[in-house]
């Protein structure tokens, strides 16, 4: 009797794209990587190695009919080689732009990005692209070595170019922008990148008299509005933008962002007990769930004997309310990479019993330190905390 391994729709799609690209006579090899969900392409002419990430295309595919899927496959198969991009720093520098993406974009099988990036917001990262009239490419650390520059220099150049591109708009509208600025559907490639530009949001919203809220639900635009004064209006706004994020093919974030006291962009929040608190935190949890799930999948797929276990990040809803909460389990039987969930479960007596503590309480009582290289953060724990700390955690236990 034969043993058959079921191929997932995700892997079937990746294999199909790779096969179509490999059929091109210009291509030496096209290899599907299920861990990175990408196709690595090499051409016969020595043009180098290119990577086609498939996440956005796969999400888009789910909404297409059979004919549209064939068109999409033809379009993907046309990406038969690394795009022609400048190779010297003098040529590359003016073509650099920053972009905001979910932190799992371009993530390698070990849960660490393979292309140049840095954390921007919780579960979001800033990437850099080389934008030319012919194509767009994401530089890697190997490219930096070739150019002889640091990552900081690359990010700084990308920001300078973005500021130059939108400088006139900021000069004309800064302090005089309309109370609601909806860039959704404008489809300018870099509108959503403005959130990365230091001082932009403060300049745009100067004179409003209220905190600005900015939403970047997808790669197609951005919404900037003053903070609604009515809780009902605020909830309706958050609901709408979270829905827009959920329906987006190239999604970025369902979270609202605002400015802290120093003028830096941060996730928007409201005090405990505020009518919009559950909806605000629901957006936080939704984004974290998507990105942590992707990270967990890659870490587990790449795990070797002796590697720490990548704990799951789970999200639950409270029936009859807008509230959700996130949960991870700290077990005492193996080294674990623990995600930063709102609640941590401590199973006891063979998992028959458990108690829960908030992340803030756990961090305070145990002094957890994030492992380098992971975004979103992971914390390596090899056993339960010391008995004294466990006693304090039990005393401060609560119910999610």
From first to last of its 400 residues, the chain has per-residue pLDDT tens of: 333 344 578 888 888 888 888 877 777 888 888 877 888 888 766 656 677 777 777 877 777 777 667 777 777 776 665 556 677 899 999 999 999 999 988 776 655 667 899 999 999 999 999 987 766 788 888 889 989 999 999 999 999 999 998 887 777 665 565 666 776 555 556 888 989 999 888 888 888 888 999 999 988 778 999 999 999 999 999 999 999 999 887 889 999 999 999 989 999 999 999 999 999 999 999 999 999 999 998 899 888 999 999 999 999 998 888 789 999 999 888 899 999 999 999 998 766 689 999 999 999 999 999 999 899 999 999 888 999 999 999 999 999 9
Length of the chain: 400
Using DSSP, state whether 310 is helix, strand or coil.
strand
> And the tokens for 42?
């090499």
Residue linked to tokens 């490419």 = 137
* Nearest CA-CA partner of 69 in 58, 80, 79, 54: 58
Residues 6+ apart with CB under 8 A from 2: none
pTM over 0.75: yes
Residue linked to tokens 């999400």 = 59
Query: What's residue 1's pLDDT?
Result: 34
> And the tokens for 64?
């297409």
Cα distance between the two ends of the chain: 48
Task: Evaluate whether 325 touches 285 at the Cβ level (below 8 Å).
Answer: yes
Q: Beta partners for 29?
A: 42
Task: Evaluate whether 14 touches 37 at the Cβ level (below 8 Å).
Answer: yes
DSSP codes, 130-144:
EE-SS-EE---HHHH
DSSP codes, 337-378:
EEE--SEEEEEETTTTEEEEEEHHHHHHHH---PPTT-SS-E
Pairing of strands 336-339, 309-310: parallel
């Amino acid at each position: 009797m034969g043993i058959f391994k079921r191929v997932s729709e995700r892997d079937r799609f990746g294999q199909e794209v790779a096969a179509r690209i490999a059929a091109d006579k210009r291509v030496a090899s096209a290899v599907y990587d299920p861990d990175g969900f990408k196709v690595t392409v090499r051409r016969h002419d020595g043009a180098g190695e290119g990577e086609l990430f498939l996440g956005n295309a796969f999400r888009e595919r789910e909404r297409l009919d059979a004919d549209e899927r064939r068109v999409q496959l033809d379009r993907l198969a046309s990406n038969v080689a690394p795009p022609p991009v400048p190779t010297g720093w003098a040529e590359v520098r003016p073509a650099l732009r920053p972009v905001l993406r979910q932190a799992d974009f371009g993530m390698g099988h070990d849960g660490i990005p393979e292309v140049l990036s840095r954390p921007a917001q919780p579960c979001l990262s800033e990437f850099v692209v080389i934008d030319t009239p012919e194509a767009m490419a994401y530089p890697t650390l190997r490219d930096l070595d070739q150019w002889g520059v640091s990552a900081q220099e690359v990010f700084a150049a990308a920001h300078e170019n973005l500021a130059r591109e939108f400088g006139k708009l900021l000069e004309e509208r800064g302090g005089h922008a309309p109370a609601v600025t909806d860039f959704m559907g404008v489809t300018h490639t870099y509108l959503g990148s403005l959130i990365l530009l230091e001082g932009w949001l403060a300049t745009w919203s100067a004179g409003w008299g209220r905190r600005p809220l900015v939403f970047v639900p997808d790669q197609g635009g951005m919404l900037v509005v003053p903070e609604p004064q009515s809780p009902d209006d605020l909830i309706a706004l958050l609901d709408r933008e979270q829905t827009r994020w959920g329906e987006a093919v190239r999604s970025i974030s369902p979270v609202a962002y605002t400015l802290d006291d120093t003028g830096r962009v941060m996730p928007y929040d409201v005090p405990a007990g505020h009518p919009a608190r559950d909806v605000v935190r629901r957006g936080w949890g939704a984004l974290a769930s998507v990105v942590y799930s992707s990270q967990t999948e890659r870490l587990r797929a790449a795990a070797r004997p002796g590697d720490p276990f990548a704990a799951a990040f789970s999200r639950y809803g409270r029936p009859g309310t807008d509230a959700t909460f996130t949960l991870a389990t700290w077990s005492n039987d193996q080294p674990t990479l623990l995600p930063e969930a709102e609640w941590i479960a401590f199973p006891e007596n063979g998992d028959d019993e458990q108690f829960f503590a908030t992340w803030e309480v756990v961090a305070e009582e145990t002094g957890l330190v994030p492992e380098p290289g992971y975004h979103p953060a992971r914390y390596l724990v090899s056993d339960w905390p010391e008995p004294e700390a466990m006693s304090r955690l039990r005393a401060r236990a609560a119910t999610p």
